[in-house]
Amino acid sequence: MKRLMYGCLFLAILGLTIGCQDNDQISSEKKAASATSKKSSVSPSAQDYNNRGTAYQRAGRLQAAAAAYRQAIEIKPTLIEAHHNLGTVYVMQGKLDAAIAAYKRVLQLRPDMAEAYVDLGRTYGLAGRLDAAIAEYQKALTRDATLVYAHYGIGLAYRHKGMFPEAIFALEQAITRQPDFVEALMQLGFVYRETEQLSRAVETFTTVIHIYPTNAKAYHELGVCHTKADAYPEAIQAFERALQLNPDTVETQNLLRVAQARMARQR
């Protein structure tokens, strides 16, 4: 009789235990389902929209990128990265006034961000506001004197203003810090050519060719300098090499004919 009672009691306890385990399992499943439901209903964060904008930008979908960055800013107005990225997209779209406003907002949020002054200066330069561009580049250099693109930007602006000594100094500063900076070397070569410092121009364009042997523009400019110096065999050789690299350049074709004609008259 006692065995029967213990057996019934064991079964009853076992049943209660199983029932509790089942209830716990059901409760856990409900909690997990509730958490999943809540997670899926959470709206994207500002950083999510910023990351989405970056993906769109890399894919060349600039309008979608701008919209995503604006959404990020709407959620978090102090997200510097989104303002900066939006400015970059606006530049790519040619919306320079909007880009200037975006970069200014970056600098309001973080006045010590030297790279943002460079971007603002570059945008002013694209808009033809050269004095404003120089001012922003100089602000960048007061915060980080090693920024080669700030020196380069100043040199480019001074060149377009016709202030050639200042342009040469700024471009040389950029090249000193980055000797293989081809764009700065090309601009320095242009300034030397425009100021009739032909031997220096030839030397500079030759340096570009050593760094970048397939630079058709450098060979073209080398040919122009040799033509100005009446060194027609060298000019012809440079123009021919430029055309090997870029056969469809009409200006180079015409200048090659001029050099060939002048050399023929010297014979």
Task: Round the average pLDDT of the chain to a whole number and report it.
Answer: 88
Average pLDDT over residues 81-95: 98
Q: Which of 68, 84, 111 is the last residue of a domain?
A: 111
The domain tally of the chain equals 2
Average pLDDT over residues 185-193: 99
- Res. 11 pLDDT band, cuts 50 70 90: very low
Is the pLDDT at 28 greater than 90? The verdict is no
Question: HEC string of the chain?
Answer: CHHHHHHHHHHHHHHHHHHHHHHHHHHHHHHHHHHHHHHHHCCCCHHHHHHHHHHHHHCCCHHHHHHHHHHHHHHCCCCHHHHHHHHHHHHHHCCHHHHHHHHHHHHHHCCCCHHHHHHHHHHHHHCCCHHHHHHHHHHHHHHCCCCHHHHHHHHHHHHHCCCHHHHHHHHHHHHHHCCCCHHHHHHHHHHHHHCCCHHHHHHHHHHHHHHCCCCHHHHHHHHHHHHHCCCHHHHHHHHHHHHHHCCCCHHHHHHHHHHHHHHHHHC
**Domain assignment of residue 256, yes or no:** yes
Place of tokens 């690299």: 245
Q: Which of 62, 92, 111 is the last residue of a domain?
A: 111
Average pLDDT over residues 118-129: 98
Query: What is the model's pLDDT at position 266?
Result: 83
Query: What is the model's pLDDT at position 267?
Result: 75
Crossing angle between the packed helical segments 62-75 and 46-58, to the nearest 10 degrees? 170
Average pLDDT over residues 28-55: 67
**Domain assignment of residue 11, yes or no:** no
pTM score of the predicted model: 0.80
Which CATH number goes with the domain that contains 81?
1.25.40.10
Terminal-residue alpha carbon distance, the chain = 135
Quote the domain boundaries for residue 219: 193-267
Q: What's the pLDDT tens digit per position in 212-261?
A: 999 999 999 999 999 999 999 999 999 999 999 999 999 999 999 999 99
Q: Which of 77, 93, 111 is the last residue of a domain?
A: 111
Q: How large a percentage of the chain has pLDDT more than 70?
A: 84
**Domain assignment of residue 85, yes or no:** yes
Query: What is the model's pLDDT at position 5?
Result: 36
Q: How far apart are CA 35 and CA 54, in angstroms?
A: 29
Query: What is the model's pLDDT at position 81?
Result: 97
**Domain assignment of residue 35, yes or no:** no
**Domain assignment of residue 145, yes or no:** no
Query: What is the model's pLDDT at position 25?
Result: 42
- Res. 42 pLDDT band, cuts 50 70 90: low
